[in-house]
Amino acid sequence: MIPSGRAALVLLGLVIVLWGLNWPVMKVGLEYIPPLLFTSIRMVLGCLCMVIAAAIMGQLRRPYRDEWTLVFGVGLIQMA
């Protein structure tokens, strides 16, 4: 699904605002929570959001057996 021109601009504006707010939130969060715990919480919340989005779109499924290597490889690269 490709959004219309107006919807794409609204989405772009939303991304800009959310990324802009990300830095101050992380700065404040790291004052109260150790970095490793903060990162772990971010990863869990991000994973939860992605699972919910996939479920809403009807695309949630477990990876097939031969896809697990790819899932772990990409996950390791993303974490590093």
Note the pLDDT tens digit of each residue in 1-58.
677 888 899 999 999 999 999 889 889 989 999 999 998 898 899 889 999 999 999 9
Helices and strands (H, E) in the chain, number of each type: 3, 0
- pLDDT for res 51: 94
All structural domains of the chain with their residue ranges? 1-32, 33-80
| Residues 73 and 63: beta-carbon distance below 8 Å | no
Separation between Cα atoms, residue 20 and residue 38, nearest integer Å: 18
pLDDT > 90? residue 70:
yes
- pLDDT for res 21: 93
Tokens found for residue 23: 């830095």
| Residues 54 and 60: beta-carbon distance below 8 Å | yes
- 3-class secondary-structure state, position 4: coil
